[in-house]
Amino acid sequence: MFTTTLFLCASAFASSSGNDPFFDQRMSMVEAQIKQRGILDPQVLAAMLKVQRHLFVPEKYQSSAYEDYPLSIGHEQTISQPYIVAYMTEAAKLHKGDTVLEIGTGSGYQAAILAEIVGKVYTVELIESLADTAQKRLKDLGYQNIFVKQGDGYQSWKDNAPYDAIIVTAAPDSIPNALIDQLKPGGRMVIPVGSFHQELYLVTKTESGIDKKLLLPVRFVPMVKPKED
Ligand code: SAH
């Protein structure tokens, strides 16, 4: 009897998770790494629960996709730790109709989290093969509100500016002016700054300039300055 009950519970749960073998792990990730550390924005929690992070990492790392650390995505780049993705997304104070720019597409995971919350996501990646792979992955997953471009984030993506929010996922030495210029008044930018010691900042564009709030120490890959031809 006991065995039967357990079996029924397990099958009911499996069907609610839509045949996703990682659903359990993703739920634990949201609970233990994100909620319990103080991320409470329901739209961020819902996005982190919905997006299948294991589809954004190389196959050999799929079983570690929901662990509490960053993972390699090749080309010496990483997909950020889940908590940092959630933290930056919450810090950007997003609304449904927002247009958001991300610098550093990488795997496309942060872009997918953003696209679950806002209207449109534009994302720029310097490394061509990462941009191509992310674009294909996001298309295959059915995202129609994410636009990927191979290019240099220091130049931003002017055509769609101004943005309600900008999320930068590689660290420059100082805040690039082009990014500030392309924020709407009242717009928010979440950006890691520094080389060895990095700090995450929330930058808000004001009438008279910018307001900079220090959030926490972080470790991101550098935002690379491409060589001029
Ligand atoms: N947001 C990503 C992780 C980003 S890792 C994800 O969710 O997976 C940082 C990325 O920034 C890397 O892919 C790196 O190639 C890219 N990058 C570094 N310098 C850049 C630049 N100047 N412009 C655009 N992308 C850059």
- Domain range list for the chain: 2-218
Residue 85 pLDDT greater than 80, yes or no: yes
Given the CA of residue 124, which atom of ligand 1 is nearest to it?
Answer: 24
- Residues with a catalytic annotation lie at 80
Q: How far is the CA of 57 from the centre of ligand 1 (A)?
A: 15
Q: How far is Cα 168 from Cα 171, in angstroms, rounded to an integer?
A: 7
CATH class of the domain whose range is 2-218: alpha beta
Q: Give, for ligand 1, the residue of 51, 77, 193 to mutate: max count of ligand atoms closer than 8 Å to Cβ.
A: 77
125 lines ligand 1 (CB under 6 A): yes
For residues 92 and 202, give the distance between their C-alpha atoms in angstroms, rounded to a whole number: 8
Residue to substitute in 52, 69, 81, 105 for testing ligand 1 pocket (most ligand atoms within 8 angstroms of CB): 105
CB 105 within 8 A of CB 148: yes
CA nearest to 56, candidates 71, 76, 46 = 71
Given a cut of 60, whether residue 225 has pLDDT beyond it is yes
Question: Does residue 79 register a pLDDT over 90?
Answer: yes
The contacts of residue 91 (CB under 8 Å, 6+ apart) are 188, 190, 200, 202, 215
pLDDT digit string, tens, across residues 173-216: 999 999 999 999 999 999 999 998 999 999 999 999 999 999 99
Distance 130 CA to ligand 1 centre (A): 9
Task: Give pLDDT, residue 227.
Answer: 78
Convert the pLDDT of each residue in 131-185 to its tens digit.
Answer: 999 999 999 999 999 999 999 999 989 999 999 999 999 999 999 999 999 999 9
What's the whole-model pTM score? 0.92
The CA distance from 42 to 85, in Å, is 15
Tokens of 162: 């101004």
| Whole-number Å distance between alpha carbons of 185 and 147 | 23
Q: Is 29 in the pocket of ligand 1 (CB under 6 A)?
A: no
